[in-house]
Amino acid sequence: MVKIGILNLQGAVSEHFDMTRKTVENLKLDIEVEEVRYSDDVEKCDGLIISGGESTVIGKLIKERGIDKVIKENNIPVFGTCAGMVLLGKKTDFNQPLLELMDITVKRNTYGRQKDSFEAEIEILNQKYSGVFIRAPALESYDASKNDIKILSEFDGEIIAIQQGHNIAISFHPELTDDTLIHEYFIEEVLTSLNH
């Protein structure tokens, strides 16, 4: 059975768990959704979601537990939101452990502090979507020579959603809305990756 793991190290884990379960039900797919904490659990996953939180804390635990190695060795597609976007990148504006799965540089806290959080209508996957931004990062740059990179959404001149291969990095919080659009997109990417 296909399994989607929600990395439970810190952050909005339960919201992502609930949203992924809801997505699977909507799509009427036989997919298991499970919170995962260690490399052994992650190894059994076909896709992994990394939620918002403190990217430095999550990054350290990922390295300490060898989760980064397991993701790379098994080519597990990763969907990173907010802190997850930072962790997927090759570089950020702070010295911290990163997964380095995508050829992107991410600037942390582009949209200010917690009190500067806001909601805005964005367009992603050719649809209108309500983006919830909480201390959100944005893309500083990406390697345009890589033909497997696809920009999924921009807002106010900033790139806020990007995909490389089957990995997806977005700066906002889709798990805090009722819209399963982006989770559906990720699950389809996971299923595509299994068929290759």
| Residues annotated catalytic, as ranges | 82, 173, 175
Structure tokens at 41: 């659990």
Task: Tell me the backbone φ, ψ of residue 189, rounded to 5 degrees.
Answer: -65, -40
| Long-range CB contacts for residues 98-103, cutoff 8 Å, separation at least 24 | 98/59, 99/59, 99/62, 99/68, 99/71, 101/71, 101/72, 101/164, 101/167, 102/142, 102/149, 102/162, 102/164, 102/167, 102/169, 103/142, 103/143, 103/146, 103/149, 103/164
* The residue to which tokens 């399963």 are assigned: 180
Rounded distance, CA 65 to CA 37, Å? 9
